[in-house]
Structure 1
Amino acid sequence: MADNKQHVGEPDRSRVSGSEDYEVRYFADKHGLTMDQARDLIARHGNQRDELDRAAEQLKRA
């Protein structure tokens, strides 16, 4: 199925871009992580925001 062309140029809020420092920094600050910890989570779990949020919460509990 083709992408919805009505949303061209709008950011995809369901993903965290590991290549954009400001997105990694926001994610790290949101969860009280270092930038390295945030990048490691993105590398291990992919860029789906929901999954990363769960992984960050588990990391904080450990």
Structure 2
Amino acid sequence: MTNDKTKKIQPAKEAVTEAPYEVIYFAKKHRISNEDARDIIEKHGANRKEADKAGRRISV
């Protein structure tokens, strides 16, 4: 098997990080209510970094 660098395959991790969080998963991760999680996800969309920041602010 050759190591052909011309064929680029998108890693699964990149595909996941481009999608918005699931509400229940996000709520459990930050120990917040589903309603708060839904609001954060609607506000930040697929920007997981900003969504995590907002989740940490609420969970404190």
RMSD: 2.5
Which residue does the alignment assign to 2:32?
Answer: 33
Gaps of 5+ in 1: none
- Number of residue pairs the alignment of both structures matches: 53
Whether contact under 8 Å (1:17, 1:24) holds in the other structure is: no
SS at match of 1:6: coil
Gaps of 5+ in 2: 1-6
Which residue does the alignment assign to 1:6?
Answer: 9
Identity of aligned residues (%): 34
The TM-score normalised by the length of structure 2 is: 0.63
Higher Cα Rg, which structure: 2
SS at match of 1:17: coil
